[in-house]
Structure 1
Amino acid sequence: MEDMLNFEGETGPYVQYTHARACSILRNAPSPVTDHIQGLTDEGSWEIVKLLAAFPNIIQNAYEYLDPSLIAKYLIDVSQAFNSYYAHTKVLTEDEQLHSRLALVYATTVVLKEGLRLLGIHAPEEM
């Protein structure tokens, strides 16, 4: 039971916590979130962009192979990439890339929330 409720590692609460953390960033944003991710050239950003772009294929494969664990593993990968990005990037720094970073965070929350929903798991905005 302790392993299942752990906020670290490959667990549901880890993904939920990542979603809540990303929502917290958006709540603290100094400006509104846009939907344009442009100008982000760091490796961490592009790792997340590539993962988020794979979401439709992950859903399709999970459906075709009747294997929801594909979605669960994917959400872990997205969470790990986002947490690594967050650890190395000051997302809320007011500069020319702020809107793009916020859009990336928002896109991450959308994918995590929908992936958790597909698995029947609530995506809290606060923890």
Structure 2
Amino acid sequence: MSYEVERSNDEWRAVLNPQEFHILRQAGTEPAFTGALNDEWRAGEYVCRGCGNALFRAQTKFDAGCGWPSFWEPLRAESVEHLEDNSLGMRRVEVRCARCGGHLGHVFPDGYGTPTGNRYCMNSASLEFVPDDDE
């Protein structure tokens, strides 16, 4: 698959720290309740740590109690891509940045009480928070 932003592993390692590289480029997962953005509640936008692609608005973030930042929908449908993930003996839907292919997390249909019923469970290390100007 080709993306608008493509780099070699060495180039990615030059712009990402080891944890970010592991998550974004190797589909890793940070431990629950350890991510810096799990408790971020200011108004703003969440962008891909790898390429700056706008992914989520803070208004769609909710406390799912799972230990990772959770959103009920992406900023735009074309901001992310969904891939079948049958690893770890589970059937899940992986979420990647549509601009650079970076692994963000997974989406689950258990966001009950949200407008979409979805829970986009994202790794903090794959995101960067950009507060609104008035913050």
**TM bin (shorter chain):** under 0.3
Higher relative contact order, chain-length normalized (CA < 8 Å, sep 6+): 1
Choose between structure 1 and 2: higher helix proportion. 1
Choose between structure 1 and 2: higher strand proportion. 2
TM-score (norm 2): 0.25
